[in-house]
Amino acid sequence: MIPQVQTSKRKYTKRVDYVFETKKALRRSLWYIVMSVIAMFMLYPFVFAFMGGLMDPELFTSLGTMMPIPNPAVIDNYMSFFTQQMWRPFLNTIARTAWYTIVNTYIAVTLGYFMARKSFWGKKQFFMIIIIAQLIPGVLTLIPTFVMMARFPLVGGNNIFGVGGSGFINNPAVLFILIGGGQLMNAILFRQAMFSLPPSFEEAAEMDGCGYFQTMMKVILPMQKPIIAFIAMTSAINTWNDWFTPFLYISDLQYNTLPAYVGMLVTRFHEFTRPNYALVFALSTISTLPPVVIFLAFQRNIVQGLASAGIKG
């Protein structure tokens, strides 16, 4: 009797395991199907823009389908990116992205470390001010910032009182001096990440004779690589995709960035000529590729960086 009971138990266990694995496989298959459908919806605009860039401009205007099918494919729209007229905005975008990535990351790391490790009068109030500043919509500061740039003293023909010229309006330097508020939130993330690092590491470095900068370079930065990579990556992507700021302050196409160049191109098409949407879609596809590459290359740092910043302080 005992062997029969053991055999029955084994059969029952195998049946239960089979049912469990079957349900697990079904749930996994359903999850893959749902995510595939969502991915198709997310990729549709990019595929539409890519295919539209391969179409003849005249044929594209009479398009009435959900997906443009080039017949035949025209690469002239994409080849226009390699003209001298397009290289200047592209290089402006690279320079602006690199500058803001370095500056925003430096400010976020320095300010975040200062808030996490240093004690000073009004520390809690200072932190609350930063939090409250994040609640102010950026559109409310748009007009004051524009007036400030236009009335900046001794720039663009202005006198010492900021009158008589245009200031930083249509000045390429405006692309590199408008430091936004994104680094404040990044500073909060770095502050939170510092709570996962015991102060004993810094105390040991100080006992070994390291100063502030040596401690930052040899202890803090190597141990906080995930959050620093996350801050740098998000700063680079946000700066590259920022078309509105250059579009607002720069009217010369050659002084503009690539995303703003595309936006200004659409505006001038509607004002002076017949819209060439095929060219716009081609340039939009090219301008989208760098942020996509950055995201795919460093997407692991998003999870690691946010996980390191999720420590309660």
- Short-list 24, 70, 13, CA closest to 47: 70
So what's the pLDDT on residue 155? Answer: 85
CA dist 181 and 139 (Å) reads: 12
Q: Which residue has the tokens 């003209």?
A: 83
Question: Per-residue pLDDT tens for 169-198?
Answer: 888 888 888 765 567 788 888 888 888 788
**Domain covering 83-308, topology:** MetI-like fold (1.10.3720)
SS (H, E, C) 146-169: HHHHHCCCCCCCCCCCCCCCCCCC
Domain boundaries, given as residue ranges, for the chain? 83-308
Asked if residue 67 lies in contact with residue 47, where contact means CB atoms within 8 angstroms, the answer is yes
Joined tokens for residue 142: 């748009």
Confidence category of residue 99, pLDDT binned at 50, 70, 90? very high
In the chain, the amino acid numbered 47 is V
Question: Per-residue pLDDT tens for 237-289?
Answer: 888 988 888 888 988 877 888 888 888 877 776 666 667 788 888 888 888 88
What pTM was estimated for this model as a whole?
0.79
